[in-house]
Amino acid sequence: MSKIKNLAKAVVFLILLAVLIHAIDSIFTNTDFRIYQTMTAFYDEPDDKLDGVYIGSSTTYAFWQPNTAWDHYGITVIPLSIPDMPAASLKYMIKEGRKTQPDALYIINLNSFRSAVPDTNHFHFMTDFMKFSLNKIDMVNDLGKRSDIEWYDRLEFLFPVIRFHSNWSNLYKDAVTPEPDLLKGGVHYSTYLSYVKDVTGMYNYSEETSEIDAEKADILEGLLSYCEEDDVNVLFILAPQADLNDESHAELNAIAKVTEERGFPTLNLVNKIDEIGLDTTLDFYNGKHTNIHGSLKFTKYLCEYLTENYDFEDKRGREEYSDWDEASEKYRGMIDEYVLDFELTDPVRDYTLGAPWITTTVLGNDIALGWTASYGADGYLLYRKSKPVEGGDSTAWELVDSFGYETLEYRDEGLKSGTKYTYTVVPVKTVDEVVNYGKFNHVGITAEIKAEG
Amino acid sequence: MEELRNLLNEKYPGIDFDTEKELVDNGVLDSVEIVSLISDIEDTFDITVTMEYIQPKYFQSVESMWEMIEELQ
Amino acid sequence: MSYVSFEFLAFCVAILFVYYIFSAFGKYGRKAQKYVLLVASLAFYTWSKLYPGLKDGFTSDIVSGIFKSLSGILITAIVSFLAGVLIGGVWKREAKKLEACDDKEKQKTIKKKSKRLARLWLVLALLVAVGLLAVCKYNEFAVENINVILDKLGKGQLEAPDILLPMGISFYTFMAISYVLDIFWKRYDYEKNVFAYVSYITYFPHVVQGPIDRYNKFSAQMKDGVKFSYKNITFGAQLALWGFFEKLVVADRIGIFVNNIYGNIEEYKGIIIVLATVLYSVQIYADFAGCIDIVRGISEMFGITLEKNFNHPYFAKTMPEFWRRWHMSLMEWFKDYIYYPVSTSKLVRSVKKHTKKNRLKRFGELFATCFPALIVWMVTGIWHGAAWNFVAWGMFHACLIILGNIFERPLAALTKKLKINVESFSWKLWQMTRTFVLCCIGRVFFKAGTVKEAFFIFRQMFAKVELYRLLPAYLFTYGLNVYAFTVMLVSIFILWAVDMVEEKYPLRETLSRQNLVFRWLLIYACLAAILIFGVFGPEFNASAFIYEQF
């Protein structure tokens, strides 16, 4: 009898121990809130409610805007993406997604094949926000084996407390767990929203293919076999990153070819920058990612493709999707100081109209603006936003006035002291009663009215 | 054995050798004292205590010490 | 593999599992348990070569590497085993012959002859064991010093041959020596089963850092195997858990601070060095005692209790008492195998004889106690490290012991005269503090790399006071911020508190009589403390055991 009692005691002790370790784990874990938001957006979604799950690295969340897709097309596609997600993780993320969204379309960014396996930090990004499960253990083992990490060194990826417990002295600072931002995975970090980098020099157009590295070929085969065996509805995409050198580009082209020849729908978009309407001078924040302006264009392009090729219903207006309406509204409120009103309305763009150069002169409480003419334009739109010098939120971009093609200057009067004003000018051309919007300075030119005294 | 008892009581008046039966294990006699005691026992009983007998079991009590002395004589 | 690693924990769980499966097969299964331990210990000893072999396959390189790493310990083990057989055989034959013979003169010759033969085997075995230890561990030290002399003579320098240092050689050699001497001194019967004996020498809990176990006590526990016992598992695990706390939470955290100061010793003067030295003394205790608790706890889970090594040493009131509480198995070894033999050796006996009846009597008595002590401490010093600063450390303690002996009577008289109450708490506190301070002084020699550096550190300590370094603005910049420093102090306090309780009550027994909820809460709290505050994981560099280099 006492033997059974002892056995029972031991079992209960070990169970409580597991609970304790789990509790400590959840306190001492990675506090990268951005990843927390994107993963939470996916995990919090009710079962069987998504049209698609978009899997990939930061190429996914920087290119795809779930809220805009909802706003214009009523489709529900959430990114399941983590910075630098390597190729080896793709299969496991599909499995993770299919636990709750088995019938969704799985859109996979083949850009993940730029790296086969992650380094230690990015390994943690992968695992720290993934729920504990057999799938997670499988993934850690697979990635660990490919990276030559011993089994006992892999434990830190299943129990992040091993790496993060030394943060206990900082705990009081990070003690607050973040609230989910309920933005369906739509990102809003500052570089994405406000940076512009000219990546024209980096970008190359190439249809070359090359040999695929053995490790990556092995990973690719595993991925495709899994999709075939489990009958996963898959769409492969190669997102138009600008910084691919010749070797990477050729290898990725080869990989896209393999998936296509295997019978999977594949969109190789690296060479299609013009078709998508991306401008390498204005639409990227670095060689790897579009900024919000570029991502709006990419999202529209992909939505057109999806609605054309897949049976996604337009679910706008339905009661049970009101959370998507709320998310979209909230997101629009967050980006209105970065994005002009027409960018969100599915406009016609004419990129032959170049962005005007703007100059400002501060005269007391007025700012005198001047801009260069844009060849081919028949009018200009002047937008303005302002922000107090002492700190505080910026206003949204708002249209000040529209002008005919001869007007190349404007005096903005009666402005507030101690405020910074930012302006941008959009050249327009009306064709068949439809306004075509040209290129414009996404960041704008800023002038400051100094505070009094 | 009386001679042994007298020697011990004279040398260590603070220890009650009638009740203490674990002199070594309880740390009542330390190594320095044991060496000194060995020297006295050798002189008094005209024996040579070899290493075989310098073990805890022979020094735990008066009785065990006497056993050792008898074996060596 | 390190004792403080997930690998080792997984290893122990696996071996425990196999070990107790054997115990399910009755008497023969239990007798076979020692072979499980033997295989496990050999695997543990060669793990760094064995594991890659198991993973990627056994190349000839790996196999030869495994044999090379086992050669040292197996030679010592087998030679000492054979010595046991041969010497034991000599005594057995002697006993038979003595029984068959009544003539006292003949008996004397038989005894003399046997002793000579037995001594031959003893000397050969000791030559091999000590020789291997000397060559493997001290060749560089010897060559260094020879080179100094050669340099002075204007001759060329020698180069030290590159010899592999077998793991735990200082410890297992002493265990082998203790066995051979015990057989020579007819303390118990020799072991006939070579596997049983080798599993004692290679036993993985004690092969790296001790304790230095005696064969009779060890084999009595291992011989007939062990039945599964819930108490063994729980008590053993609790002890090991406490060991992990001592090592990972207390010792390694102090180490961050100590290494910061001692690692940049030229930049610091005064009181901060004193603080670092005091903390180092605590660290070395928590580190060593922690590791010993881990291995003793694990060994208890196998049903084998190893020698106790620590008994709250800093509660000692005198230096001799300290050495009865610190590294006890080593000090016992020195007592039984050096102190007593030297004390009863011909040299000491003849000095005592020739000074007994004259004015040199006091000298004779002192010689009889101090000379063996001197020998013991010289060997103790050099055993701890192949460098002069360790010898200096040994000599420092030898002086303390010898001076203590010389001045014992005058000091006792003085204490009486001054009417000091030796039973009062304040006096005991003074004694403990004095003992601890003397220890700390010795520790400086231990920690410094050379004698020169040790004296440099003392000079730095007294050059200035630099009291400002204790202010918060400075104190928390030496590797431990204010939170880490607080945790360190709290963990030291917990260590002290537990030791205080243990001084009076057997902790685990007392714990087992408390409520289950209280017990479990305590254990979970300890586990959580180790998990959260332990110095391990990728954020910290792996910390080596201080005593592992021996």
Q: Give the distance from residue C248's alpha carbon to the nearest chain A alpha carbon, in angstroms.
A: 12
Closest CB to C186: pick one of B32, B34, B52.
Answer: B52
Q: Quick one: pLDDT at residue C75?
A: 95
pLDDT value for C347: 87
For the residues of A394-446, what is the DSSP string, one character each? PPPPEEEEEEETT--EEEE-SPPTTEEEEEEEEEEEEETTEEEE----SS-EE
The tokens for B73 are 């004589």
Across residues A151-166, what is the average pLDDT?
87
Q: Which residue has the tokens 């918060």?
A: C472
The Cα C218–Cα C198 span in angstroms is 12
pTM: 0.87
Three-class SS state of A315: coil
pLDDT surpassing 70 at residue C550: no
Question: pLDDT grade, residue A172 (50/70/90)?
Answer: low
Least confident residue range of A220-229, A230-239, C58-67, C413-422: C413-422
Instruction: Give strand pairing partners of C247.
Output: none
Paired sense of beta strands A266-268 and A348-349, if any: unpaired
Average pLDDT over residues A283-293: 93
Residues 6+ apart with CB under 8 A from A435: A342, A347, A348, A428, A429
pLDDT tens digit sequence for C150-163 = 888 888 788 888 88
- How much is the pLDDT for C543? 34
C368 — contact with chain B (CB < 8 Å)?
yes
Cβ-contact C443, C283 below 8 angstroms = no
A24 CB neighbours in chain C (<8 A) are 528, 531-532
pLDDT (mean) for B14-32: 83
CA distance linking residue B54 with residue B24, whole number of Å: 11
Mean of the pLDDT values across residues C451-478? 88
- Please state, rounded to an integer, the average pLDDT across all residues of chain B: 85
For the record, the structure tokens of A248 come out as 């990477």
Sort A405 into a burial class: Cβ within 10 Å, 0-12 / 13-18 / 19+.
Answer: middle
Where does the pLDDT of residue C315 fall: very low under 50, low under 70, confident under 90, or very high at 90 and above?
A: very high
Q: Is C520 near chain A, with CB under 8 Å?
A: yes
Q: At what angle do helices A134-146 and A120-128 cross, to 10 degrees?
A: 170
Backbone angles phi, psi at C505, to 5 degrees: -125, 145
Any idea what the Cα angle at residue A299 is, between residues A297 and A302, rounded to 5°?
Answer: 110
**β-sheet bridge partners, residue A55:** A80, A108
Please give the ipTM for the structure prediction: 0.92
Q: Please determine, for residue A156, whether its predicted confidence score (pLDDT) is greater than 50.
A: yes
User: What b/e readout covers C502-530, taking b as 16+ CB neighbours within 10 angstroms?
Assistant: eeeeebbeebeeeeeeebeeebbebbebb
> What pLDDT is stored for residue A351 in this prediction?
87
CA gap A195, A291 in Å, rounded: 7
Tell me the C-alpha distance between A27 and C536, whole Å.
18
Is the Cβ pair B52, C405 closer than 8 Å? no
Residue A137's nearest CA partner among A92, A100, A97 is A92
Q: To 5 degrees, how large is the angle CA A199–CA A201–CA A202?
A: 70
Give CA angle at C16 (C13, C21), nearest 5°.
130
**Mean pLDDT, all residues of chain A:** 91
Tell me whether C108 touches chain B (CB under 8 Å): no
CA distance C16 to chain A (A): 15
* Percent of chain A whose predicted confidence (pLDDT) is above 90: 72
Cross-chain Cβ contact C538/A16 below 8 Å? no
> With bands split at pLDDT 50, 70 and 90, how would you rate the model's confidence at C547?
very low
- The residues that bridge with A367 in the sheet, in sequence order, are A362, A412
**What does the alpha-carbon distance between residue C114 and residue C96 come to, in Å, rounded to a whole number?**
12
Average pLDDT for C162-186: 93
Is there an interface between C and A (3+ Cβ pairs < 8 A)? yes
* pLDDT tens readout for residues C338-352: 999 998 888 888 888
Output the pLDDT for position C249: 95
In this prediction, residue C546 carries a pLDDT of: 41
Q: Angle at Cα A275 formed by Cα A269 and Cα A280, nearest 5°? A: 80
Q: Which residues pair with A424 in a beta bridge?
A: A383
Residues 6+ apart with CB under 8 A from C430: none
**A302: nearest Cα among A116, A19, A77, A124:** A77
- Residue to mutate among C183, C185, C401, with most B CBs inside 10 A, is C185
- Cβ contacts of A345 within 8 Å, gap of 6 or more: none
Sign of the CA dihedral running A283, A286, A291, A295: positive
Shortest Cα distance, chain C CAs vs residue B19, angstroms = 23
Q: Are A52 and A76 in contact (CB under 8 A)?
A: yes
CA atoms in the 13 A half-sphere facing the CB of C183: 30
Q: Give CA separation, C252 vs A27, C137, C492, C540, C543, in Å.
A: 23, 27, 12, 10, 7
Q: What is the pLDDT of residues A347-365, one digit of tens each?
A: 888 889 999 999 999 998 9
| Across A14-18, A45-49, A112-116, C100-104, least confident range | C100-104
For chain B, state the CA radius of gyration: 11
Partner C contacted by B30 (CB < 8 A): yes
Which pLDDT score is estimated for C463? Answer: 87
Residues from chain C that touch B27, judged by Cβ atoms under 8 A, are 324
Contact C344 B30 (CB under 8 A): no
Note the pLDDT tens digit of each residue in C352-377. 888 877 777 778 878 888 889 999 99
Region C176-184: mean pLDDT is: 96
Contact C538 A24 (CB under 8 A): no
CA-CA distance, C221 to C216, in Å (whole number)?
9
Could you read off the pLDDT of C99-147 as tens digits, one per residue? 888 888 888 888 899 999 999 999 999 999 999 999 999 988 888 888 8
From C341, C369, C372, residue closest to B51, measured CB to CB: C341
pLDDT value at residue C548: 38
Residue C372: list chain B partners with CB under 8 A.
Answer: 35
pLDDT at C539: 62
Residue pair C272/C470 in contact by the 8 Å Cβ criterion: yes
C394 and C331 in contact (C-beta within 8 Å)?
no
Confidence of residue B15 (pLDDT cuts 50, 70, 90): confident
- Maximum distance among all Cα pairs of chain B, rounded to whole angstroms: 29
Is the pLDDT higher at C268 or at A234?
A: A234
A420 φ, ψ to 5°? -100, 135
Rounded to an integer, the average pLDDT of C316-335 is: 93
Give the C-alpha separation, C16 to C488, whole Å.
34
CA angle C6, C8, C10 (to 5 degrees): 70
